Structure 1
Amino acid sequence: MNIRRTIFAVSVLFCSSASAYEQPMVVSYAVQPINHFNQQLSQAQIESLKWTQAPESISAHYSGENFSLARVKNFQGKVVTYSVSQQSDKHPKMLLILSMEKQKGLWTLEGAKLTWQCKNGLHFGTDRC
């Protein structure tokens, strides 16, 4: 039953543009480091590694296996990915928002923001749970 609620919550948060819930309500976030990752990304692109070819796989590489890609959106010339983690008893559901841009054929991560949703919360933020 918990899996169904999680899937429903993700689908409500990331549904089609026809809905009023096109984007999750994020009231605050914690900026995450990107410099080291961008160095890795640059080197991997020089080596033509497959994961560097698309925003979805770049996002998965940054976020790791605990996150699932929920949505990819083009916004102001950038690609924004939204990845969510599963909520557990020890950790709230987290939302990782990555912004990236492709210039001269190479991807660069421009920003990484992490926010979470406290149990029974209606928004994502940096509140203590």
Structure 2
Amino acid sequence: MSFINIIRTLFAFSVLFCSAASAYENPIVVSYAVQPINKFNQQLGQAQQESLKWTQAPESISAHYSGDNFTLARIKNFEGKVVTYSVSQQNSKHPKMLLILSMEKQKGLWSVDAAKLTWQCKNGLHFGTDRC
């Protein structure tokens, strides 16, 4: 194998590896189902008035919204909002789900702006609302 072919092979491998790692860090979402937030925001507002501990940080707010079947995978700041990504536990009967919450803090109080749910079909490379 020539030196040029070795370099090409290493480059191709590094591109594939970086693409796979990047896809894991930044999931490809092609479609999502908007989830209700009004009732949750009412509960969140009431809980904040009562100074409940889970209302103090985006991570715990996200966990409260998503429930026990989801694990926080990533949190980031985007355009003045906090976005959390929570992934469902692996289940043989249901596809892996990704819940994306966007929230912001105004006048010392948190509120959820949007909740989006998407799923990954078995062996899928992206998250979407396709039937599995």
In the superposition, the TM-score normalised over structure 2's length comes to: 0.82
Question: What fraction of aligned residue pairs are identical, expressed as a percent?
Answer: 84
Q: Give aligned pairs, total.
A: 111
Q: What pairs up with 1:1-129 in 2 under 5 angstroms?
A: 20-21=22-23, 22-129=25-132
- Displacement, 1:86? 1.8
Where do 5+ consecutive residues of structure 1 fail to align? 1-18
TM-score by length of 1: 0.84
Q: Residues of 2 paired with 1:94 and 1:120: CA distance?
A: 13
Structure 1 runs of 4+ aligned residues shifted over 6 Å read none
Cα deviations by residue, 1:72-105 (Å, 9 ceiling, x for unpaired): 0000000000000123121000000000000000
Rounded Cα–Cα distance in structure 1 between residues aligned with 2:66 and 2:60: 10
Larger of the two Rg values belongs to structure: 2
The structure with the greater share of residues assigned to helix is 2
Once superposed, what is the RMSD of the aligned Cα atoms? 0.9
Residue 23 of structure 1 and its aligned partner are, at CA, apart by 1.2
